[in-house]
Amino acid sequence: MIIENSKVINGGVMNLEYYPIRGRGPEGDKFQLARITDEQGNMYKGQYDQAKHFGSEQELKTYLSEMLNLPEAELSIKKMSL
pLDDT digits (tens, 9 = 90+) for 72-82: 999 999 999 87
| Residues 30-64: tens digit of each pLDDT | 999 999 999 999 999 999 999 999 999 999 999 99
* pLDDT of 39: 92
* pLDDT of 12: 84
What does the alpha-carbon distance between residue 82 and residue 71 come to, in Å, rounded to a whole number?
Answer: 28
- Count how many residues are written for the chain: 82
Interval 5-30 mean pLDDT? 82
With pLDDT > 90 as the criterion, what percentage of the chain qualifies?
A: 79
pTM of this structure: 0.82
Q: Please, which residues bridge with residue 18 across strands?
A: 36, 79
What is the DSSP-derived secondary structure letter of residue 72? G
